[in-house]
C-alpha cells in the first residue's frame, strides 16, 4: 500500500458525491488503522500520513441577531418547548443533545447542565425510517461537558419542570416518563422527534416573518453572543463541545476578530499617554 492508494480512495469518495467531511473521516479512520498495524509490525510505515489531507469544508455560519433571538424567545413564551429554546440560545446545545437531556443532568441549585448523550435517528435496524436511539458520549470526549447556565435559562427550566409535573398529574396512568425522566419530551413523556423540533422552529420563524434558519443556527447564535460578551475562543470551544479549537476558530474566528479589535481600542485608550491638563490662569 502506498500514499497513492489513500489519495485514490479520497478521489473515489469525492466522485461518489460525498462531502469533504466524509473524506476527512475516511482518511482519519484509515490512518488510525495503519497506526495500530505499524505498532504490531504488520506494516513498515503509515502511508496515510504521507497522503494529502482532504480540503477542510468551510462551515456556514448564519446566526440570528440579538433582536431576532429575543423575538423568537418572546414567541415561544409559555409553550412546551420554551425552555429548549432558552437553553439552545444560551449555551448552544446541539438538537440531539437537547432532545436527550434528562433531569438528573440538570442541577438548578448550582445552575449547571451536563451533556452526556445525544438522541439520533438510526437506520441500522433495516426499517425505512429507522428508530430513535440514545448514544452515550465517550467520557474523554470534549462533547461530554458540564456547562454553567445563565439565570434566564435556569428560570425557564424551573418553570418547565413545574409545568411538566402538572402534566404528569393530569395524565395519570398514561404518563410514561419514569424510566427516561427527559427534560424535553412529548406530552406522554416519550422522546421528542428531533425533526419535529426543527418544524416547530420553522413555524415560529415564518410566523415572525424572520429569515429561514436551521436549528443549528441557534448554536451559532449562542457562539456569536458569547464572543460579543468578551468570551475567548477557548471558552466558546469548551461550552460548545468542539473537539479542536481549530474548528471553533474556523467557524467564529471572524467574529472573534471584531471583538478583539474593540478590546484593543480600549487597551489603546487605557495605555496611551494622558494629555497634560491645560493650566487655567485666574483673572484678578
What pLDDT was estimated at residue 14?
82
Task: Verify that 81 and 34 share a domain, yes or no.
Answer: no
Q: Based on the fold, state whether residues 30 and 167 are members of the same structural domain.
A: no
In a domain, 16, yes or no: yes
- Residue 72: per-residue pLDDT: 97
Same-domain status, 17 and 137:
no
On whether both 45 and 20 belong to a single domain, the answer is yes
Q: What pLDDT is attached to residue 3?
A: 86
- Residue 130, pLDDT score: 76
Q: Do 7 and 115 belong together in one domain? A: no
Residues 106 and 161 in one domain: yes
How far is the C-alpha of 44 from the C-alpha of 187, rounded, in Å? 59
Determine what percent of the chain is predicted with pLDDT higher than 90: 44
Q: Are 98 and 220 found together in one domain?
A: yes
**What is the reported pLDDT for 66?**
93
Residue 247 lies in a domain: no
Looking at residue 118, what is its pLDDT? 93
Q: What is the CATH number of the domain that holds 93?
A: 1.10.443.10
pTM of the model: 0.74
pLDDT number for residue 187: 83
46 and 85 housed in the same domain: no
Domain co-membership, 36 together with 123: no
- The ranges of the chain with pLDDT < 70 are 55-60, 124-129, 139-140, 173-179, 274-284
- DSSP output for the chain: --HHHHHHHHHHHHHTT--HHHHHHHHHHHHHHHHHHHHTTSSSS-HHHHSPPPPPPPPP--PPPHHHHHHHHHHTTTSTTHHHHHHHHHH---HHHHHT-BGGGEETTTTEEEE-EEEEEE-TTS-SS-EEEEEEPPTTSTTSEEEE--HHHHHHHHHHHHHHHHHHHHHGGG---TTT-BSSB-TTSPBPPHHHHHHHHHHHHHHTTPPP--THHHHHHHHHHHHHTT--HHHHHHHHT-S-HHHHHHHHHHHHHHHHHHHHHHHHHHHSPPPPPPPPPPP-
What's the domain range around 10? Answer: 3-50
Q: Are residues 75 and 164 in the same domain?
A: yes
Looking at residue 121, what is its pLDDT? 84
Q: What angle do CA 132, 136, 142 make, to 5 degrees?
A: 125
Same domain (yes/no): 150, 30? no
pLDDT at 175: 65
Count of the separate structural domains present in the chain: 2
Amino acid at each position: 500500500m502506498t500514499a497513492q492508494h489513500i489519495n485514490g480512495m479520497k478521489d473515489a469518495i469525492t466522485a461518489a458525491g460525498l462531502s469533504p467531511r466524509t473524506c476527512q473521516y475516511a482518511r482519519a479512520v484509515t490512518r488510525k488503522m495503519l497506526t495500530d498495524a505499524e505498532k504490531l509490525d504488520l506494516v513498515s510505515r503509515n502511508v496515510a500520513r504521507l497522503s494529502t489531507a482532504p480540503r477542510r469544508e468551510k462551515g456556514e455560519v448564519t446566526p440570528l441577531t440579538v433582536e431576532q433571538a429575543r423575538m423568537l424567545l418572546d414567541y415561544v413564551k409559555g409553550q412546551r418547548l420554551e425552555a429548549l429554546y432558552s437553553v439552545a440560545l444560551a449555551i448552544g446545545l446541539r438538537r440531539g443533545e437537547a432532545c436527550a437531556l434528562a433531569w438528573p443532568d440538570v442541577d438548578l441549585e448550582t445552575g449547571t447542565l451536563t451533556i452526556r448523550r445525544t438522541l439520533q435517528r438510526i437506520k441500522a435496524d433495516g426499517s425505512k425510517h429507522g428508530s430513535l436511539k440514545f448514544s452515550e458520549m465517550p467520557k474523554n470526549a470534549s462533547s461530554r461537558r458540564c456547562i454553567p447556565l445563565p439565570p434566564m435559562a435556569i428560570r425557564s427550566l424551573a418553570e418547565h419542570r413545574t409545568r411538566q409535573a402538572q402534566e404528569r398529574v393530569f395524565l395519570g396512568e398514561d404518563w410514561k416518563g419514569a424510566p427516561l425522566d427527559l427534560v424535553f419530551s412529548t406530552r406522554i413523556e416519550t422522546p421528542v422527534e428531533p425533526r419535529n423540533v426543527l418544524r416547530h422552529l420553522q413555524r415560529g420563524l415564518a410566523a415572525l416573518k424572520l429569515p429561514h434558519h436551521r436549528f443549528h443556527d441557534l448554536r451559532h447564535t449562542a457562539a456569536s453572543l458569547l464572543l460579543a460578551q468578551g468570551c475567548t475562543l477557548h471558552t466558546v470551544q469548551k461550552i460548545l463541545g468542539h473537539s479542536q479549537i481549530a474548528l471553533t476558530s474556523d467557524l467564529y474566528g471572524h467574529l472573534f476578530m471584531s471583538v478583539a479589535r474593540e478590546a484593543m481600542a480600549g487597551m489603546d485608550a487605557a495605555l496611551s499617554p494622558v494629555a497634560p491638563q491645560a493650566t487655567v490662569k485666574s483673572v484678578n
